[in-house]
Amino acid sequence: MSFMTIKNIMVAAVSTSCSSFLYNNFTKTPTIRKLSVNSAKPLTVMAAANVVPAIIVGGGRVGKALESMGNGNDLLIKRGESIPLDFSGPILVCTRNDDLEAVLQSTPQSRWNADLVFFQNGVLEPWLESKGLKDADQVLAYFAVSKLGEPPIDGKTDTNPEGLTAAYGKWGTAVASRLQAGGLSCKVLEKNAFQKQMLEKLIWICSFMLVGALHPGATVGVVEKEHRNEVSKLILELADAAAAEKGLVFDDAVEERLCAYARAVSHFPTAVKEFQWRNGWFYSLSQKAISEGKPDPCPSHTAWLKELKVV
């Protein structure tokens, strides 16, 4: 067989193969596939390009996760470093609550009300007000980062599939865009709605961490599954106390919402931490009531704190 004959056969084979490929792949109805958070990550490159560059204070799990959602133009500030005056944009504070004073002192005062965005859990109101920051930007992070460098797990639940993470303030939309670029949900709320959701998150932390501490080694998932009666009792007790103190009414089914979140981040460990900012707020309500000759609004909470020798 001549060289030209072989060449002609090869060209025909390639042509037939290409025609078959084109027909099979471009004449069929395309399959639409829902993307999970992880599989969606390659598609967030364009979104990340539009993320507002930020100063990120704290190189822990949350800080590094936020940095990974940016476009490479963020500035990561670590413990003891000062925050520059000439880097515009939001200042995302991702430190422990007890480090907030040091963060504030390392930040130019002209940027306190303008650019600080607090990601901390717990009741920040008294501290913020004492610093003249009562309207400071805040974020409720309903996502979990198990280990440094691992992708965050979104706190979407079977009761709130749209997600629970929320932002408030001047930089709320910028924060939401950053989180969405990282495959996470985030909504922007007005202050009253944000405060109500903040209290729900506080109730979740205080309830699940305390009940979990009563059962050493229990994760939040174990608490929800095996100690549901205890945690439900505490959720309703703390919700009533918070509602009375703040003069608000929680939306229906708060217990189920918070238990659903526990199922979404079931691996999370439990421990009573940062007492001043978390359980300490409810304990102060108990102390106030008792000093006024009134019944303790949080009797189980108080009893279990004493059982663990926290108070």
Q: How confident is the model at residue 144 (pLDDT cuts 50, 70, 90)?
A: confident
Architecture of domain 55-189: 3-Layer(aba) Sandwich (3.40)
Percent of the chain topping pLDDT 70: 84
Report the CATH number of the 194-308 domain: 1.10.1040
Tokens of 279: 């359980």
Q: How confident is the model at residue 17 (pLDDT cuts 50, 70, 90)?
A: very low
| Mean pLDDT confidence for 282-306 | 98
pLDDT of residue 45: 55
Q: Where are the domains of the chain?
A: 55-189, 194-308
Q: In this structure, are strands 91-93 and 75-77 parallel, antiparallel, or unpaired? A: unpaired
CA–CA dist 114, 238 (Å, integer)? 33
User: Mean pLDDT over all residues of the chain?
Assistant: 87
Q: How many CB atoms lie within 10 A of CB 120?
A: 22
The angle, 0 to 180 degrees and rounded to 10, between the axes of the packed helices 279-291 and 228-246 is 60
pLDDT of residue 47: 66
For the full predicted model, state whether its pTM sits above 0.85. no
Measured between alpha carbons, how far apart are the two ends of the chain, in Å? Answer: 95
Percent of the chain topping pLDDT 90: 80
| Mean pLDDT confidence for 304-309 | 98
